[in-house]
Structure 1
Amino acid sequence: MTSPRFPRTARVRARSDFDRIFQHGRRVALPVLALHWQSGEGEPRLGLAVSRKVDPHAVGRNRIKRALRETFRHLRKDLAAGDYVIVARPEAARRSGAELGEALQGLLRRAGALPASAPAGTMPAARIPPSTPDACSG
C-alpha cells in the first residue's frame, strides 16, 4: 500500500458487500454522515452512498463523493483493515469539502478505526515537581 492512488481494489462495489456491511457492520452517525464499518483483513476499502435525497443534482452528489474519497485516500494508510461505507445525509449538501473531510475523520475516530491525533506541539508537556517548604527558603 505504498501508492497514494485510490485503485478499484480499494472500493466496495458489489451490492452483496454493501448489504453485508449494512447488516453486520458497526454504525456511527452524525447529522451530516453515517459510517458503517466491518473489520476484516487486507487493505481498507471504501463504499459511498449518496442518494438524490441528499442533492437532486448530480454535480452536488459528485462533489460530496469526491471530497469523501479524497479524505479517505489520505487516511487510508492509518486506518484499521476492513470495509467502510459512508452514507451521506441531506445536511452534507450544505457543507464544504473541508467540513465533510473533518466529519469523516471524526466518525472514523469515534468508530475506533483511526487512532486519536497527537496533541499539537513538538515538546512533551512539562511536569512541575511538587514544591517543598524547605527548598525555597533562603
Structure 2
Amino acid sequence: MTSARFPRNARVRAKSDFDRIFQHGRRVALPVLALHWQSSQDAPRLGLAVSRKVDPRAVGRNRIKRVLRDTFRRLRDELAAGDYVVVARPPAARADAAELAAALRGLLQRCGALGTSGLPLTSAPGTMPAASPSVPIPDSGRG
C-alpha cells in the first residue's frame, strides 16, 4: 500500500507530457469526465484538466480535482503503469463526490487499467473487444 500522500512523481505536470498524452494516447469518455492515457514503464501518474468552462468558481474546480486525486491515490496500487490525464466536463460541476469517483473508476476499468474489465491497455483501434466466435448468437424468433 502506498502512503496517503500524492507525491510529485505521481503527477503529470509538464506541458510537454500533457501534449504527448493528448496527441499519442488513447481516450475514453463519459458525459462527466474524459480519460486520456498512454502506457509506459513508469508507475501510474495522474494529470488533471478542469477548466473554467466546467465551473467558473475556483472552489468548484478545486473540489473536482480533490475528489479525482483522492480516488486515483486509492486506486494507484491496482493500476497499470502509464500516464493518465482526466479532463472534467461541465456536468462534473453538478456531480457529487461519489459520482465523480464512480465515473473515474469506470473510465479506468474501460481503458483496461483496472483488472475487472478485461480490456487490454494497448493502442489497438476501437473501444469494444471483438466478439468471441465460440459464443452463439441467440435467435430472436422473428423471421
Q: TM-score, normalised by structure 1?
A: 0.82
Q: CA deviation at 1:30?
A: 0.2
Q: Structure 1 unaligned runs (5+)?
A: 118-138
Q: CA deviation at 1:3?
A: 2.4
Matched residue, 1:87: 87
Q: Which amino acid aligns with 1:40?
A: S
Matched residue, 1:29: 29
Q: CA deviation at 1:2?
A: 3.4
Matched residue, 2:138: none
Q: Structure 2 unaligned runs (5+)?
A: 118-143
Q: 2:22 aligned with 1:9, yes or no?
A: no
Q: In structure 1, the residue corresponding to 2:80 is in which secondary structure?
A: coil
Matched residue, 1:78: 78
- Give me the whole-angstrom Cα distance separating, in 2, the residues matched to 1:76 and 1:5: 11
Q: Deviations over 1:60-88 (max 9, x none)?
A: 00000000000000000000000000000
Q: CA deviation at 1:106?
A: 0.2
Q: CA deviation at 1:4?
A: 3.1
Q: 2:52 aligned with 1:52, yes or no?
A: yes
Q: 2:104 aligned with 1:104, yes or no?
A: yes
Q: Deviations over 1:24-72 (max 9, x none)?
A: 0000000000000000012100000000000000000000000000000
Counterparts in 2 of 1:73 and 1:2: CA distance versus 1, 3 Å:
closer
* Identical columns (%): 79
Q: 2:116 aligned with 1:116, yes or no?
A: yes
Q: Which amino acid aligns with 2:69?
A: R
RMSD (Å), alpha carbons: 1.1
Q: TM-score, normalised by structure 2?
A: 0.80
Q: CA deviation at 1:5?
A: 1.8
Q: In structure 1, the residue corresponding to 2:71 is in which secondary structure?
A: helix
